[in-house]
Amino acid sequence: MVTDPILVGLIGNRLHSILAEQQNALVNTAFSAVVRESLDLACAVFDSRGEMIGQSTGGTPGHINAMATGLRHFVAEYPPETLEPGDVLLTNDPWQTAGQINDITVATPVFAGGRLVAWFASCCHAPDIGGRLVSADATEVFEEGLRLPILKFLRAGEVNADLERLIRANVRTPEETIGDLYAQVAGNDVGAASLVRLLAEFGLTSLDDVAAEIMNRSERALREAITALPDGVYRNELATDGFDDEPVVLRVAVTVAGDEIHVDFAESSPQSRRGINVVLNYTRAYASFAVKAAISPEVPHNAGSFRPVHVTAPEGSVLNCLPPAPVASRHLIGHFLPSLLIGALPGCPIAPSADALWMTIWRGEGFMSTVFQTGGMGARVSRDGLSTTGFPSGLRSTPTEVIETSAPLVQGTRELLVDSGGAGQFRGGLGQRTTMSALGGVPWSVNGNVDRVRAAASGVDGGSPGALGRFGLVSGDDLPAKSRVALDPDAEVDVVLPGGGGYGDPRRRAVADVLADVVAGYVSAEAAESVYGVVVRYIGVPDALVRLPEDYEVAELRGRD
């Protein structure tokens, strides 16, 4: 069917606004800081067959892209004749959606004129789902929490009370977990109501034809971008900290052939005995994101933009684990895929970043708090990396005020870490240092889901690596990563996030940029001299608390072209 291109443009723009309404309703009614503050979520609209038409502007690729392919499981499990208005489905099966027990996808079928015309869905990280808490401690998925197959959470508008009771009985934060589920339902309802009004406004009985053209446009645009790349096979590998004494190496072969890309992760490390494994759906999510982000970020994101990208990984590998493999901390591997894949593409546009989001879970008597933090982004081919920016996850760091008002915790330090960005003609983004202690004088614990404390983000084209992270006690001892650790009542924990890699020879960095970095406190005067060859002298008032740019001068250049 030939669809009016003006109508397609109008509907596409209106759907964009409706998706913003959906996400705003979800965030504004969410109970947990995980959703409300860090935006660990994704929202999307699908056609009647479960093909993603579009996504909201917020959210993380691991959720949105996994949900885009995962909704087909919902459609297969509940065909249209088994559904009615007011039904709402959910699942957190790792192999069907976002690869982790804590991530719950809620899907709402949309009816108009007595027929199913679309779906709205969201995926959110639940503050708790039982089990061991999020870590890599488990040896099988059954230890990691309550696993829910695709079920009806609402039937014709009525809550499945038995399912709600089951969830409440198995989680440590029943009010927050159930409250977030209701927020997801509310967000979907807001989107569905606006879509039904939109169809009525344009006199449409179906969205599928318009949706098909929206997706086809994205597919054509991405194929055009792929054809601009030279055909060939491009390889890369990247080391992660892995788990304990079990390192993990990721390898990729990217084959560009005409207007298609084949991404193969063969020869990556085998499936781990611990919970850092990644399901294929999550691997595809971050691989497809990386391709689009690298070569055509402006293309609207939908099922069409997935079609030219083919992703494979051997069964039983760390990037295509088989049940009942533990998967709770799968992001500590999955978040490395964009750096790995972008680094393989010709003309690599960005150095490796801190990559894995740091997620610490603090627990004591009467409280449990999940804190997200981000390290530095890798330097880009023509500009510095962004500091403490959640690439590739897109998540926000948890504000100090939220941490301290929601739990008896004190974040004593929160500062950018000088010299942590990899040196280069373009500098890597800085990491950050925070410290955490607890009030009340009672024992407490932390699950430190962290990486790059052993394997730094490397530089590109002569750039230097970013600084390593650190997870340990302020008193000096390092703490085990990716495991639950008991803490003394007076313990103070040092959480130091890594920096991004640098791009290009540091001696080619503009002198004015080196001076500005010293003034801002991003680079020390010692590093400016020894690494960049720029001697910066402070000429202002000694011991001044406020030091202005005019209080510094470039005194000498050493070893520069």
For 49-98, write each residue's pLDDT tens digit.
Answer: 999 999 998 889 999 999 999 999 999 999 999 999 999 999 999 999 99
pLDDT over threshold 80, residue 382: yes
Same-domain status, 500 and 423: yes
pLDDT value for 348: 83
Q: Is 77 exposed, middle or buried (0-12, 13-18, 19+ CB in 10 A)?
A: middle
Count Cβ atoms below 10 Å from residue 435 Cβ, excluding itself.
17
Mean per-residue pLDDT, 160-184? 98
Q: What sign does the CA torsion over 439, 442, 448, 454 have?
A: positive
pLDDT value for 190: 98
Q: What is the pLDDT of residues 291-330, one digit of tens each?
A: 999 999 999 999 999 999 999 999 999 999 999 999 999 9
Strand residue runs (E) in 134-218: 151-155, 158-159
Report helix, strand or coil for 233. strand
Residues 6+ apart with CB under 8 A from 526: none
Residues 6+ apart with CB under 8 A from 107: 71, 74, 88, 89, 90, 119, 120, 121, 188
* Rounded Cα–Cα distance for residues 179 and 308 (Å): 39
Same-domain status, 355 and 492: yes
Question: Do residues 151 and 160 lie in contact, with contact meaning Cβ atoms separated by under 8 Å?
Answer: yes
Mean per-residue pLDDT, 111-124? 97
Q: What is the pLDDT of residues 40-49, one digit of tens each?
A: 999 999 999 9
Q: Which of 167, 186, 218 is the last residue of a domain?
A: 218
Q: Alpha-carbon dihedral of residues 138, 140, 145, 147, nearest 10 degrees?
A: 160
250 falls within a domain: no
Q: What average pLDDT does the chain have?
A: 96
Q: Alpha-carbon dihedral of residues 537, 542, 544, 550, nearest 10 degrees?
A: -30
Q: Which of 165, 185, 218 is the last residue of a domain?
A: 218
406 falls within a domain: yes
Same-domain status, 399 and 489: yes
315 falls within a domain: no
Q: Is 369 exposed, middle or buried (0-12, 13-18, 19+ CB in 10 A)?
A: buried
Tokens for 78, please give them.
């509940």
* Rounded Cα–Cα distance for residues 208 and 384 (Å): 43
Same-domain status, 490 and 535: no
Q: Please, which pLDDT band fits residue 195 given cuts at 50, 70 and 90?
A: very high
* Rounded Cα–Cα distance for residues 256 and 233 (Å): 6
Same-domain status, 395 and 495: yes
For the chain, the farthest-separated pair of C-alpha atoms sits apart, in whole angstroms, at: 78
Which has the higher per-residue pLDDT, 303 or 1? Answer: 303
Q: What sign does the CA torsion over 178, 184, 186, 189 have?
A: negative
Q: Please, which pLDDT band fits residue 33 given cuts at 50, 70 and 90?
A: very high
Question: Do residues 47 and 72 lie in contact, with contact meaning Cβ atoms separated by under 8 Å?
Answer: no
Same-domain status, 37 and 92: yes
Rg of the chain in Å (alpha carbons): 24
Tokens for 158, please give them.
């009525």
**Phi, psi torsion values for 51, nearest 5 degrees:** -90, 130
Same-domain status, 547 and 437: no
10 falls within a domain: yes
pLDDT > 70 in the chain, percent: 100
pLDDT value for 82: 98
pLDDT value for 87: 98
279 falls within a domain: no
Question: Do residues 30 and 185 lie in contact, with contact meaning Cβ atoms separated by under 8 Å?
Answer: no
Nearest to 313 by CA among 282, 353, 276: 282
Q: Please, which pLDDT band fits residue 1 given cuts at 50, 70 and 90?
A: low
Q: Which residue in the block uniquely carries the two structure tokens 């959703």?
A: 35
Count Cβ atoms below 10 Å from residue 384 Cβ, excluding itself.
25
Nearest to 336 by CA among 444, 449, 241, 228: 241
Q: What is the pLDDT of residues 453-480, one digit of tens each?
A: 999 999 999 999 999 999 999 998 999 9
* Rounded Cα–Cα distance for residues 405 and 559 (Å): 51
**Global pTM?**
0.96
pLDDT over threshold 70, residue 2: no
Q: Which residue in the block uniquely carries the two structure tokens 């990491």?
A: 431
520 falls within a domain: yes
276 falls within a domain: no
Q: Which of 173, 188, 218 is the last residue of a domain?
A: 218
- Number of structural domains (the chain) is 3
State the residue range of the domain holding 191.
5-218
* Rounded Cα–Cα distance for residues 189 and 152 (Å): 15
241 falls within a domain: no
pLDDT over threshold 70, residue 192: yes
Same-domain status, 432 and 545: no
Same-domain status, 111 and 130: yes
Same-domain status, 516 and 484: no
* Rounded Cα–Cα distance for residues 354 and 389 (Å): 9
Question: Do residues 150 and 93 lie in contact, with contact meaning Cβ atoms separated by under 8 Å?
Answer: yes
Same-domain status, 50 and 115: yes
Q: Please, which pLDDT band fits residue 219 given cuts at 50, 70 and 90?
A: very high
The answer, yes or no, to whether the previous bond of 542 is cis (omega within 30 of 0) is: no
Same-domain status, 550 and 464: no
Count Cβ atoms below 10 Å from residue 48 Cβ, excluding itself.
18
pLDDT value for 339: 97
Residues 6+ apart with CB under 8 A from 114: none
